[in-house]
Amino acid sequence: MFTDTQTRKFPHIRSVWTLLGYSVMIVFTVAVFLLIRSHGELLKAPKLPNAELAINAGKSNDIFLHVLIALAAIILTGQLLAKLFRYLGQPPVIGEVVGGILLGPSLLGSDISALILPPSIAPFLGIIAQLGVILYMFLVGLELNPTLIQHRASAIVTTSHASIIMPFLLGALLALPLYPQLSNSHVSFTSFALFIGVAMSITAFPVLARILADYRMTHTKLGAEALSCAAINDVTAWCLLAFVVGIAKAQMGDGLYVTAAALLYTAFMFLMARPFLEWVTQRWHTEAHSKTLVTFIFFALLLSALTAEAIGIHAIFGAFLLGAMIPHDSTVAQTLTRQLESIVTILLLPAFFALTGMRTRIDLLSDVSHWLMCGLIIFTATAGKFGGTVVAARLTGLSWNNAAMLGTLMNTRGLMELIVLNVGLDLKVISPTLFAMMVLMALVTTAMTSPVLQILKARTIAGSKDDMLTEINPASHTSGIATSKRVKKRAYSKR
């Protein structure tokens, strides 16, 4: 062999020896494998007892391929329509919802839609959608500043429950003409009327949060109040839904259990989890500690979502509640917001809206009477939600314009409404035709939110000096929240 001095003088010598050694290694490996193969080919393996294993493996590969195609189509369609709707004065979130409808069977037809969104991927797409919503509502909770609403806590509860009571009563009243035409003898009027009332009372918490972000209202007092009202509204509505489902199944104890468990869980989060999380986030500030803390937070997030789902009030409220318990100006809140925001809003959340399109069948409305009933449902839902919110907000101290904006935001509906409607459809409390009408109601009330809110917001800014629409001074926040705002502003300038 050559010494180091010789190889330094003649560097090509080491290269030659390296190449020779590499070649010998490859030739030796191939020779040994061929020897093993020559003996292995003589062996006999037992036959596969069931050929379904290979078939299932092939199906899994096909489903995974379709999921990737669906996500790519959803993201591309959603982003293109988001730009179009922003040009038309609508928030991008409406474009994403419409993108899901366009890819669904209502407009493309079942055959063409199945090429992009085949029914076989619905369960898998649903999992991605729910994960995206859970993470998004966790981020919304992280950015919620509870000091903005402490002075109006009782007013917020009052306004939120008024936004449930009024549409609930009007929905029960509407059940009188709907029941004879759109139900059947196997469904009692009590179950039907209660379900229609609850369905009218839903506010689309995730969609409302997106609209507030699109209009840069998340960090205003009115935005915080709207988010809080929507959270209280939907938790209460989910408890009512569980109660109604219990009645429909002749198990009234289920509804009482959900209500009691939700109250106990909320009390636990405020009285025990919140002080502990504040202590933990104040104790660790360095980047080295933040990895351990982020791991703990994600575990707590999954546990909170699991608890809420087990109770029956939906996992997204457990995620939002945990986020709201973490100080919004802490290092961990800033880190999570910075790292998760783009992934959640661009990659995961559009699947949430695509699921809406897969479940919407507008073609079920076949005659004029159906469309007239649909119009009556839309009018009743809007009058109940908007009217109840405005009256309660005005009586608790808001100006007429601010109360009207809050009522407009609370009238937003979306996939949360569809989840409720699917429960009713699965229980056969509502018919497929009524299901389609209620879906249209959810879409129309969501789409009308943007133009009405834009008009009211401009009128409020021009005609009053109250601070309900004033953003919190970025200087009063930590750099993470300010950075989040700058990222959103850059996104708006591009869109």
Q: What is the pLDDT along the chain (495 residues), one digit of tens a residue?
A: 555 555 555 556 667 777 888 888 888 898 888 888 888 777 776 765 555 544 455 556 678 888 888 888 888 988 898 888 778 767 677 788 788 878 888 777 778 888 888 888 888 888 888 888 889 888 888 877 666 566 667 788 888 889 999 999 999 999 999 998 888 878 888 889 989 999 999 887 777 877 887 777 877 888 888 888 887 887 777 778 777 776 776 555 566 777 788 889 889 998 999 999 888 887 765 555 567 788 888 999 999 999 988 887 778 888 888 988 888 778 788 888 888 888 888 888 888 777 777 777 787 787 898 899 999 999 999 999 999 999 998 888 888 888 899 999 999 887 678 778 878 887 788 888 898 899 889 888 988 888 888 888 877 665 555 556 666 544 344 333 333 344 344 333 333
Characterize 62-75 residue by residue with b for buried, 16 or more Cβ atoms within 10 angstroms of its Cβ, and e for exposed.
Answer: eeeebbeebbebbb
d(CA 485, CA 216): 9
d(CA 495, CA 487): 12
Tell me which H or E stretch contains 441: helix 432-447
- Helices 221-248 and 153-182: crossing angle in degrees, nearest 10, is 40
First to last CA, the chain: 67
pLDDT value at residue 300: 94
d(CA 172, CA 193): 5
> If DSSP codes are grouped into helix, strand and coil, which group holds residue 313?
coil
Sequence letter at residue 327 = P
pLDDT value at residue 495: 39
Angle at 208 between CA 202 and CA 209, to 5 degrees: 130
Contacts of 350 (CB under 8 A, 6+ apart): 71, 74, 75, 78, 96, 99, 100, 132
Q: DSSP assignment, residue 345?
A: I
Each as own residue / partner, the long-range contacts of residues 449-452 (CB below 8 Å, 24 or more positions apart, any chain) are 449/211, 449/408, 449/409, 449/411, 449/412, 450/89, 450/90, 450/91, 450/94, 450/211, 451/89, 451/90, 452/408
Question: Which residue reads 């590969």 in tokens?
Answer: 61
CA 434 to chain centre: 24
pLDDT value at residue 103: 85
Structure tokens at 402: 């601010």
d(CA 101, CA 354): 7
Structure tokens at 2: 């050559």
pLDDT value at residue 249: 65
Q: DSSP assignment, residue 48?
A: P
Structure tokens at 102: 């366009």
Would you call 301 exposed, middle or buried from its count of C-beta atoms within 10 A (0-12, 13-18, 19+)? Answer: buried
d(CA 313, CA 56): 35
Domains, the chain, in order of start with CATH, read 60-494 (1.20.1530.20)
H/E/C letters for each residue in 220-252? CHHHHHHHHHHHHHHHHHHHHHHHHHHHHCCCH
Q: DSSP assignment, residue 269?
A: I
What is the value of pTM for the model shown? 0.71
By the 8 A CB rule, do 150 and 103 touch? Answer: no
Contacts of 280 (CB under 8 A, 6+ apart): 293, 296
Altogether, the residues listed in the chain come to a count of 495
d(CA 31, CA 40): 14
Question: Which residue reads 């457990």 in tokens?
Answer: 318
d(CA 389, CA 269): 27
Structure tokens at 75: 């993201």
Angle at 415 between CA 409 and CA 416, to 5 degrees: 70
pLDDT value at residue 146: 65
